[in-house]
Amino acid sequence: MLKKIIQNDKPKIKIEKDNIDKLLMLITLIAVGLIIYLPISNYSQLPTEIPNHFGLDGKPDDYSDKNIIFLLPIMTIFITLLLQIISKFPHTFNFPIIITEENAPKQYKIAIRMILWLNASISFVFLYITYITIQVALGKQQQMSPYFVPIFLGIVFIPIGISIYNMYKNK
């Protein structure tokens, strides 16, 4: 029994990306491009200290040197590349159901789509944070939307829930 848990007996098959997958990848690429562009194009206008943290109410509650503005683009590039790589190996994922030769193509497709959706979502969330940080630093806005946290949680967890539901539905 222990050997079965440790060993990965899931079939290794290649899942082709369809148009929705390609669109999610394009959306991610656009977000990454914008998150690189915004700090570079606004850097010279930024004051020496900018917000580096926002409270749950959306108001900035900590400040750092303006060079911190490059941290989110670096994190975004790292996370998006990592998720893109991970999406190529669905046979290594943990699934809530047993994966067989018959259900593997459908289950892998659902799992890959979930990863691509998360990649696009996280990229746009980081883009929003970068944009708001710049806007607040330049005095064009006072705070981040107080709805940011619930929207962020919805963007991340609703697709995960839908994916898990679809996995059970398509056993």
Q: Which two tokens stand for residue 20?
A: 């929705």
Rg of the chain (C-alpha set) = 19
Q: Decide if 155 contacts 121 (C-beta within 8 A).
A: yes
DSSP 17: -
The reported pTM is 0.86
CA 23 to chain centre: 15
**What's the pLDDT score for residue 170?**
85
Q: How many folded domains does the chain comprise?
A: 1
Angle at 157 between CA 108 and CA 141, to 5 degrees: 130
Give per-10-residue mean pLDDT for the chain (171 aa). 55 91 96 97 96 91 95 95 94 90 93 95 94 96 90 90 92 84
Neighbours of 6 (CB within 10 A): 6
CA 88 to chain centre: 16
Q: Is residue 50 included in any domain, yes or no? A: no
**What's the pLDDT score for residue 8?**
63
Q: Is residue 10 included in any domain, yes or no? A: no
> What residues contact 10, with CB distance under 8 A and at least 6 apart?
91, 92, 95, 99, 104
Q: Is residue 5 included in any domain, yes or no? A: no
Q: Is residue 53 included in any domain, yes or no? A: no
**What's the pLDDT score for residue 24?**
95
Q: Is residue 48 included in any domain, yes or no? A: no
**What's the pLDDT score for residue 1?**
44
Q: Is residue 8 included in any domain, yes or no? A: no
Helix (H, G, I), strand (E, B) or coil at 26: helix
Residue 75 has phi, psi (to 5 degrees) of -60, -40
Range of the domain at 139: 19-42+65-169
**What's the pLDDT score for residue 10?**
85
**What's the pLDDT score for residue 156?**
87
Q: Is residue 92 included in any domain, yes or no? A: yes
